Amino acid sequence: MKLSKPSELKIVDVNDVRNINQTVLLHLIRERQPISRVEIGKLTGLRPGTISSIVNRLIKKGVIFEGAEGPSSGGRKPTYLNVNAEAAYVLAVDIGVRDTAYAVSDFNGRILRQKSIITEGDAREFIDGLAAEIETLINGSYSRVKFAGVGVSVPGLIRRDKGEVAVSPNLGWSGLPIKQLLENKLDLPVYVENDANAAAFSELWYGPLDEIKVKTLLYILVVDGLGCGLIINGELHVGSKVGMGGFGHMCIEPNGERCSCGRKGCWETLASESATIARYHRLMSNKNGSITTSITDIIAAANRGDEKAAASLTATAEYLGEGIASLAHGLSPETVVIGGEIAAAWPLLGPIIKERVKSEYIIPEVARIEIRPASVQRPGLFGAIPVALQNYF
Ligand SMILES: [Zn+2]
Protein backbone atom coordinates (compact mmCIF):
# COMPACT_ATOMS: atom_id res chain seq x y z
CA MET A 1 0.00 0.00 0.00
CA LYS A 2 1.29 3.43 -0.87
CA LEU A 3 1.00 6.07 1.79
CA SER A 4 1.32 9.78 1.25
CA LYS A 5 3.82 11.77 3.20
CA PRO A 6 2.19 14.09 5.74
CA SER A 7 3.11 17.14 3.69
CA GLU A 8 1.29 15.72 0.66
CA LEU A 9 -1.91 14.97 2.53
CA LYS A 10 -4.97 17.04 1.91
CA ILE A 11 -6.41 18.92 4.86
CA VAL A 12 -9.02 16.59 6.30
CA ASP A 13 -12.53 17.97 6.19
CA VAL A 14 -13.75 18.18 9.76
CA ASN A 15 -17.03 16.57 8.65
CA ASP A 16 -15.16 13.39 7.68
CA VAL A 17 -13.62 13.27 11.10
CA ARG A 18 -16.85 13.80 12.94
CA ASN A 19 -19.07 11.32 11.16
CA ILE A 20 -19.25 8.13 13.16
CA ASN A 21 -21.02 5.89 10.63
CA GLN A 22 -17.79 4.57 9.18
CA THR A 23 -16.36 3.69 12.58
CA VAL A 24 -19.58 2.04 13.71
CA LEU A 25 -19.89 0.06 10.49
CA LEU A 26 -16.32 -1.20 10.68
CA HIS A 27 -16.81 -2.18 14.31
CA LEU A 28 -19.85 -4.20 13.29
CA ILE A 29 -18.16 -5.93 10.33
CA ARG A 30 -15.16 -6.76 12.53
CA GLU A 31 -17.33 -8.34 15.23
CA ARG A 32 -19.80 -10.11 12.99
CA GLN A 33 -17.76 -10.97 9.91
CA PRO A 34 -18.66 -12.37 7.48
CA ILE A 35 -21.72 -10.16 7.29
CA SER A 36 -23.94 -9.00 4.42
CA ARG A 37 -24.98 -5.44 3.63
CA VAL A 38 -28.60 -6.35 4.40
CA GLU A 39 -27.66 -7.55 7.89
CA ILE A 40 -25.65 -4.37 8.45
CA GLY A 41 -28.75 -2.38 7.51
CA LYS A 42 -30.92 -4.34 9.91
CA LEU A 43 -28.50 -3.94 12.81
CA THR A 44 -27.47 -0.32 12.32
CA GLY A 45 -30.65 1.17 10.90
CA LEU A 46 -28.52 2.94 8.27
CA ARG A 47 -30.07 3.46 4.83
CA PRO A 48 -28.90 1.08 2.04
CA GLY A 49 -27.48 4.04 0.09
CA THR A 50 -25.37 5.14 3.09
CA ILE A 51 -24.13 1.59 3.65
CA SER A 52 -23.25 1.15 -0.03
CA SER A 53 -21.28 4.35 -0.24
CA ILE A 54 -19.29 3.59 2.93
CA VAL A 55 -18.74 -0.07 2.00
CA ASN A 56 -17.59 0.83 -1.53
CA ARG A 57 -15.14 3.34 -0.16
CA LEU A 58 -13.77 0.83 2.37
CA ILE A 59 -13.43 -1.88 -0.30
CA LYS A 60 -11.58 0.56 -2.54
CA LYS A 61 -9.23 1.32 0.35
CA GLY A 62 -8.65 -2.41 0.79
CA VAL A 63 -9.71 -2.43 4.43
CA ILE A 64 -12.69 -4.70 3.85
CA PHE A 65 -13.21 -7.34 1.18
CA GLU A 66 -16.08 -9.31 -0.27
CA GLY A 67 -15.97 -13.01 0.52
CA ALA A 68 -18.39 -15.86 -0.16
CA GLU A 69 -21.86 -15.37 -1.56
CA GLY A 70 -24.78 -16.07 0.73
CA PRO A 71 -28.04 -17.84 -0.15
CA SER A 72 -30.40 -15.80 -2.30
CA SER A 73 -33.75 -14.82 -0.86
CA GLY A 74 -35.22 -14.35 -4.32
CA GLY A 75 -33.06 -11.60 -5.75
CA ARG A 76 -29.34 -11.24 -6.19
CA LYS A 77 -27.21 -13.37 -3.87
CA PRO A 78 -25.71 -11.28 -1.05
CA THR A 79 -21.93 -11.21 -0.70
CA TYR A 80 -20.41 -11.31 2.74
CA LEU A 81 -18.01 -8.66 3.94
CA ASN A 82 -14.84 -9.22 5.95
CA VAL A 83 -12.24 -6.93 7.50
CA ASN A 84 -8.71 -7.13 6.20
CA ALA A 85 -6.85 -7.00 9.53
CA GLU A 86 -3.53 -6.55 7.77
CA ALA A 87 -4.75 -3.65 5.62
CA ALA A 88 -3.02 -1.15 7.83
CA TYR A 89 -1.63 -0.71 11.30
CA VAL A 90 -1.97 2.39 13.39
CA LEU A 91 -0.06 3.84 16.27
CA ALA A 92 -2.13 4.97 19.21
CA VAL A 93 -0.72 7.37 21.78
CA ASP A 94 -2.43 8.28 25.04
CA ILE A 95 -0.73 11.18 26.77
CA GLY A 96 -1.67 11.07 30.43
CA VAL A 97 -0.66 13.35 33.28
CA ARG A 98 1.43 10.62 34.91
CA ASP A 99 2.32 8.30 32.05
CA THR A 100 2.02 8.13 28.30
CA ALA A 101 1.06 4.84 26.68
CA TYR A 102 1.69 4.03 23.03
CA ALA A 103 0.66 0.98 21.10
CA VAL A 104 0.52 -0.66 17.68
CA SER A 105 -2.91 -1.87 16.58
CA ASP A 106 -3.94 -3.86 13.53
CA PHE A 107 -7.09 -3.13 11.55
CA ASN A 108 -9.11 -5.52 13.67
CA GLY A 109 -8.53 -3.15 16.58
CA ARG A 110 -6.25 -5.65 18.27
CA ILE A 111 -3.30 -4.18 20.16
CA LEU A 112 -0.14 -5.96 19.03
CA ARG A 113 2.38 -4.13 21.21
CA GLN A 114 1.98 -1.65 24.04
CA LYS A 115 4.56 0.35 25.98
CA SER A 116 4.58 3.37 28.25
CA ILE A 117 6.87 6.11 29.47
CA ILE A 118 6.59 8.66 32.29
CA THR A 119 5.14 12.01 31.20
CA GLU A 120 7.67 14.53 32.50
CA GLY A 121 9.92 17.46 31.78
CA ASP A 122 9.81 20.11 29.10
CA ALA A 123 6.86 19.52 26.77
CA ARG A 124 8.79 19.74 23.47
CA GLU A 125 11.61 17.58 24.77
CA PHE A 126 9.10 15.08 26.02
CA ILE A 127 7.37 14.83 22.61
CA ASP A 128 10.75 14.46 20.89
CA GLY A 129 11.64 11.67 23.31
CA LEU A 130 8.29 10.01 22.71
CA ALA A 131 8.87 10.17 18.95
CA ALA A 132 12.24 8.46 19.42
CA GLU A 133 10.60 5.68 21.49
CA ILE A 134 7.92 5.18 18.84
CA GLU A 135 10.57 5.16 16.13
CA THR A 136 12.42 2.38 17.94
CA LEU A 137 9.22 0.36 18.32
CA ILE A 138 8.33 0.66 14.62
CA ASN A 139 11.81 0.06 13.25
CA GLY A 140 12.38 -2.93 15.52
CA SER A 141 9.36 -4.97 14.49
CA TYR A 142 7.36 -3.50 11.62
CA SER A 143 7.50 -2.21 8.12
CA ARG A 144 6.83 1.52 8.10
CA VAL A 145 4.59 1.34 5.03
CA LYS A 146 2.15 -0.72 7.10
CA PHE A 147 1.23 2.34 9.16
CA ALA A 148 -1.76 4.43 8.19
CA GLY A 149 -1.13 7.06 10.80
CA VAL A 150 -0.79 8.03 14.41
CA GLY A 151 -3.72 8.93 16.68
CA VAL A 152 -2.91 10.97 19.78
CA SER A 153 -5.18 11.48 22.76
CA VAL A 154 -4.29 14.40 24.99
CA PRO A 155 -6.05 15.97 27.98
CA GLY A 156 -6.84 19.59 27.26
CA LEU A 157 -8.22 21.87 24.59
CA ILE A 158 -6.87 21.26 21.12
CA ARG A 159 -6.86 23.12 17.83
CA ARG A 160 -7.97 20.22 15.69
CA ASP A 161 -7.00 21.78 12.36
CA LYS A 162 -3.40 22.27 13.51
CA GLY A 163 -3.16 19.27 15.81
CA GLU A 164 -1.99 21.61 18.51
CA VAL A 165 -2.61 21.62 22.24
CA ALA A 166 -4.11 25.07 22.83
CA VAL A 167 -4.00 24.64 26.57
CA SER A 168 -3.78 21.72 28.96
CA PRO A 169 -4.00 22.90 32.57
CA ASN A 170 -3.39 19.38 33.89
CA LEU A 171 -0.21 18.91 31.85
CA GLY A 172 0.82 22.55 32.13
CA TRP A 173 1.19 22.72 28.33
CA SER A 174 0.06 25.47 25.98
CA GLY A 175 0.50 26.20 22.29
CA LEU A 176 2.25 22.87 21.74
CA PRO A 177 2.24 21.73 18.08
CA ILE A 178 2.16 17.97 18.75
CA LYS A 179 1.14 17.07 15.19
CA GLN A 180 4.00 19.02 13.64
CA LEU A 181 6.58 17.76 16.16
CA LEU A 182 5.62 14.11 15.71
CA GLU A 183 5.21 14.30 11.92
CA ASN A 184 8.67 15.81 11.56
CA LYS A 185 10.19 12.90 13.42
CA LEU A 186 8.00 10.00 12.33
CA ASP A 187 7.11 10.93 8.75
CA LEU A 188 3.57 9.59 9.29
CA PRO A 189 0.30 11.54 9.40
CA VAL A 190 -0.59 12.43 12.99
CA TYR A 191 -4.08 13.24 14.29
CA VAL A 192 -4.56 14.80 17.71
CA GLU A 193 -7.77 14.56 19.68
CA ASN A 194 -8.94 15.62 23.12
CA ASP A 195 -8.86 12.67 25.55
CA ALA A 196 -12.59 12.69 26.30
CA ASN A 197 -13.44 12.76 22.58
CA ALA A 198 -10.99 9.92 21.98
CA ALA A 199 -12.69 8.08 24.84
CA ALA A 200 -16.07 8.55 23.15
CA PHE A 201 -14.56 7.04 19.98
CA SER A 202 -13.29 4.07 22.00
CA GLU A 203 -16.93 3.17 22.70
CA LEU A 204 -17.77 3.26 18.99
CA TRP A 205 -14.82 1.01 18.25
CA TYR A 206 -15.03 -1.39 21.22
CA GLY A 207 -18.43 -0.81 22.82
CA PRO A 208 -21.34 -3.25 23.05
CA LEU A 209 -22.92 -4.12 19.70
CA ASP A 210 -26.43 -3.77 21.10
CA GLU A 211 -25.71 -0.03 21.20
CA ILE A 212 -24.83 0.07 17.53
CA LYS A 213 -27.89 2.21 16.75
CA VAL A 214 -27.03 4.77 19.43
CA LYS A 215 -26.64 8.20 17.88
CA THR A 216 -26.20 10.32 20.99
CA LEU A 217 -23.64 9.28 23.55
CA LEU A 218 -22.14 11.25 26.39
CA TYR A 219 -18.77 10.06 27.66
CA ILE A 220 -17.61 11.33 31.03
CA LEU A 221 -13.92 10.81 31.49
CA VAL A 222 -12.98 10.96 35.14
CA VAL A 223 -9.25 11.55 35.38
CA ASP A 224 -7.25 14.29 37.14
CA GLY A 225 -9.76 16.63 35.59
CA LEU A 226 -13.18 15.78 34.23
CA GLY A 227 -13.64 15.71 30.47
CA CYS A 228 -16.71 15.11 28.34
CA GLY A 229 -16.89 13.61 24.87
CA LEU A 230 -20.19 14.07 23.14
CA ILE A 231 -21.51 12.25 20.11
CA ILE A 232 -24.68 13.89 19.02
CA ASN A 233 -26.90 12.72 16.16
CA GLY A 234 -24.12 10.48 14.90
CA GLU A 235 -21.38 13.09 14.90
CA LEU A 236 -18.65 13.95 17.33
CA HIS A 237 -19.47 17.37 18.69
CA VAL A 238 -16.39 19.51 18.35
CA GLY A 239 -17.85 22.93 18.99
CA SER A 240 -16.23 25.84 17.23
CA LYS A 241 -12.50 26.28 16.74
CA VAL A 242 -11.09 24.73 19.86
CA GLY A 243 -12.34 21.28 20.85
CA MET A 244 -14.94 21.09 23.57
CA GLY A 245 -14.69 19.41 26.94
CA GLY A 246 -16.07 22.26 28.96
CA PHE A 247 -18.80 20.49 30.92
CA GLY A 248 -16.19 19.80 33.60
CA HIS A 249 -16.39 23.51 34.32
CA MET A 250 -20.14 23.55 34.76
CA CYS A 251 -20.88 25.05 38.17
CA ILE A 252 -22.37 22.58 40.66
CA GLU A 253 -21.60 24.37 43.95
CA PRO A 254 -21.60 28.19 43.60
CA ASN A 255 -19.80 28.54 46.92
CA GLY A 256 -17.53 25.59 46.37
CA GLU A 257 -13.77 25.35 46.01
CA ARG A 258 -11.83 27.43 43.53
CA CYS A 259 -11.20 25.56 40.27
CA SER A 260 -8.06 25.71 38.10
CA CYS A 261 -10.17 27.76 35.66
CA GLY A 262 -10.65 30.50 38.25
CA ARG A 263 -14.34 29.87 38.91
CA LYS A 264 -15.85 28.24 41.96
CA GLY A 265 -17.47 24.85 42.46
CA CYS A 266 -16.94 23.44 38.95
CA TRP A 267 -18.04 19.83 38.41
CA GLU A 268 -14.36 18.94 38.06
CA THR A 269 -13.59 20.16 41.60
CA LEU A 270 -16.20 17.72 42.96
CA ALA A 271 -16.27 14.62 40.77
CA SER A 272 -12.77 14.18 39.30
CA GLU A 273 -10.10 11.76 40.51
CA SER A 274 -8.20 14.59 42.21
CA ALA A 275 -11.39 15.74 43.94
CA THR A 276 -11.99 12.20 45.20
CA ILE A 277 -8.42 11.88 46.45
CA ALA A 278 -8.54 15.32 48.12
CA ARG A 279 -11.81 14.39 49.81
CA TYR A 280 -10.27 11.19 51.14
CA HIS A 281 -7.29 13.16 52.48
CA ARG A 282 -9.67 15.54 54.26
CA LEU A 283 -11.58 12.67 55.81
CA MET A 284 -8.31 11.06 56.92
CA SER A 285 -6.80 14.24 58.36
CA ASN A 286 -7.32 13.29 61.99
CA LYS A 287 -5.74 9.93 61.52
CA ASN A 288 -2.13 8.97 61.72
CA GLY A 289 -0.61 6.68 59.18
CA SER A 290 0.13 6.77 55.53
CA ILE A 291 -2.04 8.77 53.19
CA THR A 292 -3.26 7.05 50.07
CA THR A 293 -2.59 8.96 46.91
CA SER A 294 -4.07 7.10 43.96
CA ILE A 295 -7.66 6.45 43.03
CA THR A 296 -6.84 2.76 42.62
CA ASP A 297 -5.66 2.67 46.25
CA ILE A 298 -8.86 4.37 47.42
CA ILE A 299 -10.98 1.83 45.51
CA ALA A 300 -8.95 -1.03 47.00
CA ALA A 301 -9.35 0.48 50.49
CA ALA A 302 -13.12 0.84 49.99
CA ASN A 303 -13.29 -2.80 48.90
CA ARG A 304 -11.48 -3.77 52.12
CA GLY A 305 -14.14 -1.99 54.15
CA ASP A 306 -12.45 1.38 54.70
CA GLU A 307 -15.48 3.60 55.35
CA LYS A 308 -13.72 6.85 54.57
CA ALA A 309 -12.57 5.57 51.21
CA ALA A 310 -16.12 4.43 50.48
CA ALA A 311 -17.52 7.79 51.63
CA SER A 312 -15.11 9.65 49.40
CA LEU A 313 -16.16 7.57 46.37
CA THR A 314 -19.84 7.79 47.29
CA ALA A 315 -19.69 11.58 47.33
CA THR A 316 -18.03 11.54 43.90
CA ALA A 317 -20.83 9.30 42.63
CA GLU A 318 -23.43 11.75 43.96
CA TYR A 319 -21.74 14.64 42.17
CA LEU A 320 -21.39 12.62 38.97
CA GLY A 321 -25.11 11.84 39.13
CA GLU A 322 -25.89 15.50 39.78
CA GLY A 323 -23.98 16.67 36.72
CA ILE A 324 -25.27 13.87 34.50
CA ALA A 325 -28.85 14.70 35.49
CA SER A 326 -28.40 18.30 34.32
CA LEU A 327 -26.70 17.29 31.07
CA ALA A 328 -29.20 14.53 30.37
CA HIS A 329 -32.04 17.00 30.45
CA GLY A 330 -30.34 19.22 27.94
CA LEU A 331 -28.83 16.61 25.64
CA SER A 332 -31.08 13.58 26.10
CA PRO A 333 -28.36 11.04 25.27
CA GLU A 334 -29.27 7.39 24.73
CA THR A 335 -26.12 6.26 26.54
CA VAL A 336 -23.93 7.80 29.22
CA VAL A 337 -20.55 6.17 29.76
CA ILE A 338 -18.27 6.77 32.74
CA GLY A 339 -14.61 6.04 32.14
CA GLY A 340 -11.27 6.38 33.85
CA GLU A 341 -9.80 4.25 36.62
CA ILE A 342 -12.70 5.17 38.86
CA ALA A 343 -14.97 2.98 36.69
CA ALA A 344 -13.40 -0.01 38.48
CA ALA A 345 -15.56 0.99 41.48
CA TRP A 346 -18.75 0.64 39.39
CA PRO A 347 -20.52 -1.76 41.79
CA LEU A 348 -20.35 1.03 44.38
CA LEU A 349 -20.76 4.05 42.09
CA GLY A 350 -23.26 2.78 39.53
CA PRO A 351 -26.37 2.48 41.73
CA ILE A 352 -25.73 5.88 43.36
CA ILE A 353 -25.25 7.65 40.03
CA LYS A 354 -28.35 6.01 38.54
CA GLU A 355 -30.47 6.85 41.55
CA ARG A 356 -29.28 10.45 41.56
CA VAL A 357 -30.01 10.86 37.87
CA LYS A 358 -33.44 9.28 38.24
CA SER A 359 -34.44 11.50 41.13
CA GLU A 360 -33.74 14.62 39.10
CA TYR A 361 -35.96 13.75 36.20
CA ILE A 362 -38.66 15.83 34.69
CA ILE A 363 -38.58 14.16 31.27
CA PRO A 364 -39.64 10.48 31.57
CA GLU A 365 -37.46 9.39 28.59
CA VAL A 366 -34.38 10.53 30.45
CA ALA A 367 -35.02 7.85 33.03
CA ARG A 368 -34.43 5.21 30.37
CA ILE A 369 -30.91 6.35 29.57
CA GLU A 370 -28.34 3.60 29.68
CA ILE A 371 -25.71 4.63 32.24
CA ARG A 372 -22.76 2.28 32.32
CA PRO A 373 -19.01 1.97 32.88
CA ALA A 374 -16.57 2.20 29.97
CA SER A 375 -15.89 -0.79 27.70
CA VAL A 376 -12.12 -0.37 27.84
CA GLN A 377 -9.78 0.44 30.69
CA ARG A 378 -7.53 2.96 28.99
CA PRO A 379 -10.05 4.79 26.78
CA GLY A 380 -7.59 7.44 25.57
CA LEU A 381 -5.31 4.76 24.13
CA PHE A 382 -8.06 2.61 22.63
CA GLY A 383 -9.85 5.71 21.34
CA ALA A 384 -6.69 6.96 19.61
CA ILE A 385 -6.95 3.96 17.24
CA PRO A 386 -10.25 5.00 15.59
CA VAL A 387 -9.07 8.64 15.73
CA ALA A 388 -6.15 7.69 13.47
CA LEU A 389 -8.37 5.51 11.27
CA GLN A 390 -11.16 8.05 10.91
CA ASN A 391 -8.74 10.33 9.20
CA TYR A 392 -7.26 7.57 7.08
CA PHE A 393 -10.35 6.88 4.98
ZN1 LIG B 1 -13.48 25.17 36.37
Residues 337-355 pLDDT 10s? 999 999 999 999 999 999 9
**Ligand 1 centre from 116 Cα, in Å?**
29
Name which of 158-172, 254-268, 362-376 the model is least confident about.
362-376
**Ligand 1 centre from 267 Cα, in Å?**
7
Name which of 37-41, 51-55, 65-69, 389-393 the model is least confident about.
389-393
| Longest Cα–Cα distance in the chain | 77
Tell me the pLDDT of the chain averaged across its residues: 87
Q: What burial class does residue 54 get, using C-beta atoms within 10 Å of its C-beta: 0-12 exposed, 13-18 middle, 19+ buried? A: buried
**Ligand 1 centre from 251 Cα, in Å?**
8
Instruction: Give the chain's length.
Output: 393
Q: Is the pLDDT of residue 93 over 90?
A: yes
**Ligand 1 centre from 189 Cα, in Å?**
33
Residues 231-288 pLDDT 10s? 988 888 876 666 555 789 899 999 999 998 889 999 999 999 999 999 999 998 855 5
Confidence of residue 389 (pLDDT cuts 50, 70, 90): confident
What predicted TM-score, i.e. pTM, was given to this entire model? 0.88
Q: Is the pLDDT of residue 385 over 70?
A: yes
Confidence of residue 5 (pLDDT cuts 50, 70, 90): very low
Residues 176-225 pLDDT 10s? 999 999 999 999 999 999 999 999 999 988 999 988 888 899 999 999 88
Mean pLDDT of 15-24: 67
**Ligand 1 centre from 268 Cα, in Å?**
7
**Ligand 1 centre from 324 Cα, in Å?**
16
Where do the domains of the chain lie, and which CATH numbers do they carry?
Answer: 6-83 (1.10.10.10), 89-201+380-392 (3.30.420.40), 215-374 (3.30.420.40)
